[in-house]
Amino acid sequence: MPIFNQLSLKVSAVLVVSLLSVGTSGADDLLYVRAGTLIDVQTDQLRRDQVITIRGERIERVDDAKDINIEPNARLIDLGDAYVMPGLIELHTHLTGDHRYHGYEGLQFSVPRETLFGVTNALKTLNAGFTTVRNVGAAGYSDVALRDAINAGEIDGPRLRVSGPALGMTGGHCDNNLLPVEYGVRAGGIADGPWAIRAKVREIVKYGADLIKFCATGGVLSKGDSVGGQQYTFEEMKALVDEAHMHERKVAAHAHGAEGIKTAIRAGVDSIEHASLIDDEGIKLARKNGTYLVMDIYNDTFILEHGASVGMLPESLEKERMIGQLQRDNHKKAFEAGVKMAFGSDGAVYPHGDNGKQFFYMVKYGMTPMQALQAATIHAADLLGWSNDVGTITPGFYADIVAVKRNPLDDITVMENVSFVMKGGKVYKQ
């Protein structure tokens, strides 16, 4: 007997309440999720009245509702008329950072305190619909601790890939340049010269990093450097990338400036973060090499509207005025040129949980709503190296599922208010 002859929406609602009361632990029992409309990011299609069968943490099958019989006493979550899609993937965030404290304000916090920020921010990010996250840069391996606690079931948060401390040159964007010499402050990822850089990569891998992040150019929120100026020579970048790849770690390069972007691509990085001032040659190189761009084009708005009130330095605000609109224009230009792009928004610059605000800007600057969703699902999964586990609602994949109340293909801003979140078969938001 078809599903809708077995269970009314009223009964389904009772079962949902029961489910949310007890949670799901990943046990080997069946759970059904009925999707009024399933957004298929692989085929660009909307599939009506689908039933997703989940066993434990993973999806077992996906069927038309009319073609499936629900097992007696099975649990059913009926999402009614909601639009259902895979859990979202965020590729550039800093969960152990806090948007309220920048510049000198940020110096007051210890690594243990930053780790506790991460506990709160991980849940905010998960509740925003981002069930998988790549954390790119954290002091003292605080993101490693956060990942391990989530994996152990001790705290709630997205599944994580983490970089530990970001590598960079002495005095560069990834260093701490806020204090004078007598304090002797040096960030944990600083190394100069090819062999010292190789040693630092080995150290970061030793202490639990899933990927390597480094600074190829200056940045906006650092003190005393040029936002577009190259940091690290080609020889240094090549040594870093070769060492990381030897240890089967992908490499993300923070790079705003055109020359630093091109040098990093030639050195073999897997992704360019920010890519604000990428030029035509850089776009061609990225396309030729299959290098992903991860461009955080929402946070320009937050920086210029709120940066001064949260401790951002005057020079940082001036840098953002220089590059913010150029980055957005280059996002459109690179995408239209066929460069691979994935979702990353630089959480901690703006408040965690507001990640979905970036979708609007991705659509404004070149993408269709479906392409923006694909950047945060199948393309992000590809860059992570997790294309067989996350990014689609497919048998064998993790049961990472989110839903919104209206069609995001008509209005992408609905992604700012995700109403249902499931990660690995467990409901976190309903």
* Residue-wise pLDDT tens digits, 223-282: 999 999 999 999 999 999 999 999 999 999 999 999 999 999 999 999 999 999 999 999
CB atoms within 10 A of CB 49: 17
**Residue 348 has what pLDDT?**
97
pLDDT band at 23 (very low <50, low <70, confident <90, very high): very low
Spell out where 25-178 has E strands.
30-40, 45-55, 58-64, 75-78, 83-86, 88-93, 130-135, 159-162
**Residue 65 has what pLDDT?**
93
213, 171 Cβ separation under 8 angstroms:
no
296 is catalytic: no
**Mean of the per-residue pLDDT values of the chain:** 93
Distance CA 255, CA 50 (A): 42
Q: What percent of the chain has pLDDT over 90?
A: 92
**Residue 185 has what pLDDT?**
95
**Residue 71 has what pLDDT?**
79
Task: Flag whether pLDDT at 4 surpasses 80.
Answer: no
Task: Flag whether pLDDT at 50 surpasses 90.
Answer: yes
CB atoms within 10 A of CB 174: 26
288 is catalytic: no
Across the range 114-127, mean pLDDT stands at 98
Structural domains of the chain sorted by starting position, each given as residue range(s) with its CATH number in brackets: 3-87+392-429 (2.30.40.10), 88-384 (3.20.20.140)
**Residue 72 has what pLDDT?**
79
Task: Flag whether pLDDT at 104 surpasses 50.
Answer: yes
**Residue 74 has what pLDDT?**
86
- Specify the pTM: 0.93
**Residue 8 has what pLDDT?**
35
CB atoms within 10 A of CB 104: 12
Task: Flag whether pLDDT at 310 surpasses 90.
Answer: yes
Across the range 307-318, mean pLDDT stands at 96
pLDDT band at 364 (very low <50, low <70, confident <90, very high): very high
Q: Which residues contact 184 (CB under 8 A, 6 or more apart)?
A: none
Q: Which residue in the list 78, 175, 200, 213 is annotated as catalytic?
A: 213
Q: Residue 211 CA to chain centroid, in angstroms?
A: 13
Q: Which residue in the list 270, 346, 354, 400 is annotated as catalytic?
A: 346
β-strands 83-86, 30-40 pairing: parallel
What are 85's two structure tokens? 């899609």
